[in-house]
Amino acid sequence: MMPHWIAAVYFVAALVMILGLKAMSSPLTARRGIFQAGIAMALATVVTFWHPQVAGNIALIIAAIGLGSVVAWISGKRVAMTDMPQMIALYNGMGGGAAAAIAAVELLKHGTHTPLALALGVGGALIGTVAFSGSLIAFAKLQGWMRKLWRFRGQQILNLLLFVTIVVLGVIIATGQDHWLLISAFFALALLFGVLLTVPIGGADMPVVISLYNALTGLAVGFEGFVLEIPAMMIAGIVVGAAGTLLTQLMANAMNRPLSNVLFAGFGAEEGATAAAEGGTMKAIDAQDAAILMAFAEKVIIVPGYGMAVAQAQHKIWELVGLLNQRGVKVSFAIHPVAGRMPGHMNVLLAEAGVPYDVIYDLDDINAQFATTDVALVIGANDVVNPAARDDTSSPIYGMPILNVDQSKNAIVIKRGQGTGFSGIQNRLFVGDNTRMLYGDAQKVAQSLISGVKAL
């Protein structure tokens, strides 16, 4: 029986965790929220040493905590902001793997749990394992270790059969069989299912996938909290799972695509593939002319995309904005909900560069302003600014809300080459009459724009 004072401390830790998560919903309070959540986790971890089920092996527990803390501290300090998506995918996978490992241990203690606890343990084991292997694949894609979309005929049928087999094994385990071979087969197939579920998904859909696996990790932790009868794990896991599920749904809605389409449709072509233009010619502009156009504008909107992240151009772009502001140009940033490779990717990069929150706008808040904008500067964004999503019913991205860059008086697109986005279609914005292409690495181009404005 767990002492009442331990339960009370768990409750306080869970409450602080919820308040921390709430604070993370705003950039103004996010730092405080992260600190609060960290305090809650530390509190829950420390009090666990007095839990009745923790008997012996204290030295091993402390060694594991110390080793994990050192690795996390060093990697967190060294990681570049542009590599944050893959780090989040990796750490999220570790959370799912930890929940699955707890489940494995508890399932081997079959006789010590109620049927409900066993069922929740099997459920947590399944979703935690899928989140673990799926997140590792997402990490590999974002890191550039796996660029190919692995698709083959009958892939979804195989996944369905694999899932049914895993569920059957899970039911058998939950109803009385705790043989280690059976449990090992269950986890092995769950790992494989997570891999097969993720490998067909393109890199541009990774924000939704990362958010989904984050939700699964939270639910797995919550389920294992019920098995272990630890309220802090229950509450924190369920809150994280609920928040991740809501975020996943919001991001899918932002693309006007159901989640099933992202996961199962085999949608899109290999990123970087080329497609024939639908008519029209891309018209180039040099950096000097682009700098003149922006310097003498009254209103400029900057649309950052994954190209800015790859080039680590956010600091140069903010330096350019400072020069334009000195000339009386009003500059704003427009952020699409699925820009980049993780939820809030562009916001994180701009925050790192010191861009104040009051010049950063979401799609709904700024879209109406493009019609009165002199210059819209697009940095490495593709599908989120494609007019085909608005008026071409035959387009694969038809119906996806986009930033109305094409409605601005002038559009300048910084892009490395003429590749396409996740949908594998040519961007009609690039051949528009009011669009000019500024080819090159975003950071180098931004430096050229800075030099051009300074020379005026």
* Amino acid 246: pLDDT: 87
* Amino acid 281: pLDDT: 83
* Residue 136: pLDDT band with limits 50, 70, 90: very high
* Amino acid 326: pLDDT: 95
* Residue 268: pLDDT band with limits 50, 70, 90: very low
248 and 297 belong to one structural domain = no
Residue 111 pLDDT > 80, yes or no? no
Counting the structural domains of the chain, the total is: 2
Higher-pLDDT residue of 420 and 244 is 244
3-class SS of residue 303: strand
**Domain assignment of residue 303, yes or no:** yes
Residue 122 pLDDT > 80, yes or no? yes
Q: Closest by alpha carbon to 119, among 193, 187, 170, 165? A: 170
303 and 247 belong to one structural domain = no
Residue 276 pLDDT > 60, yes or no? no
Residue 31 pLDDT > 90, yes or no? no
**Domain assignment of residue 406, yes or no:** yes
Q: Which helix (H) or strand (E) holds 331?
A: strand 330-335
Give dist(CA 16, CA 43) in Å, integer.
10
259 and 302 belong to one structural domain = no
Please, are residues 391 and 318 in contact by the beta-carbon 8 Å criterion?
A: no
* Residue 399: pLDDT band with limits 50, 70, 90: confident
**Beta-bridge partner residues of 331:** 300
* Amino acid 275: pLDDT: 40
* Amino acid 77: pLDDT: 85
Structural domain harbouring 397: 287-454
Tell me the pLDDT of the chain averaged across its residues: 85
Residue 380 pLDDT > 80, yes or no? yes
* Residue 264: pLDDT band with limits 50, 70, 90: low
* Residue 271: pLDDT band with limits 50, 70, 90: very low
Helix spans in 144-154 (H): none
Residue 147 pLDDT > 80, yes or no? no
* Amino acid 204: pLDDT: 61
359 and 227 belong to one structural domain = no
Residue 219 pLDDT > 80, yes or no? yes
Most confident of 3-17, 172-186, 317-331, 428-442: 317-331
229 and 110 belong to one structural domain = yes
372 and 421 belong to one structural domain = yes
Residue 15 pLDDT > 80, yes or no? yes
Question: How far is CA 452 from its chain centroid?
Answer: 35
> Annotated catalytic sites, by residue?
383
Residue 57 pLDDT > 50, yes or no? yes
Residue 16 pLDDT > 80, yes or no? yes
Residue 340 pLDDT > 80, yes or no? no
* Residues 38-52: tens digit of each pLDDT: 899 899 888 888 877
CATH number assigned to the domain comprising residue 321: 3.40.50.1220
* Residues 154-171: tens digit of each pLDDT: 888 898 999 999 999 999
Provide mean pLDDT across the span 95-105: 91
Provide mean pLDDT across the span 350-362: 90
Residue 30 pLDDT > 70, yes or no? yes
129 and 187 belong to one structural domain = yes
**Domain assignment of residue 411, yes or no:** yes
196 and 240 belong to one structural domain = yes
Percentage of the chain beyond pLDDT 70 is: 90
Question: How far is CA 136 from its chain centroid?
Answer: 13
Please, are residues 412 and 432 in contact by the beta-carbon 8 Å criterion?
A: no
Give dist(CA 75, CA 73) in Å, integer.
6
179 and 240 belong to one structural domain = yes
Residue 250 pLDDT > 60, yes or no? yes
Q: Closest by alpha carbon to 404, among 378, 365, 368, 436? A: 368
247 and 102 belong to one structural domain = yes
* Amino acid 265: pLDDT: 59
**Domain assignment of residue 274, yes or no:** no
* Residues 419-431: tens digit of each pLDDT: 555 455 678 899 9
Give dist(CA 153, CA 49) in Å, integer.
51
Rg (CA), the chain: 25
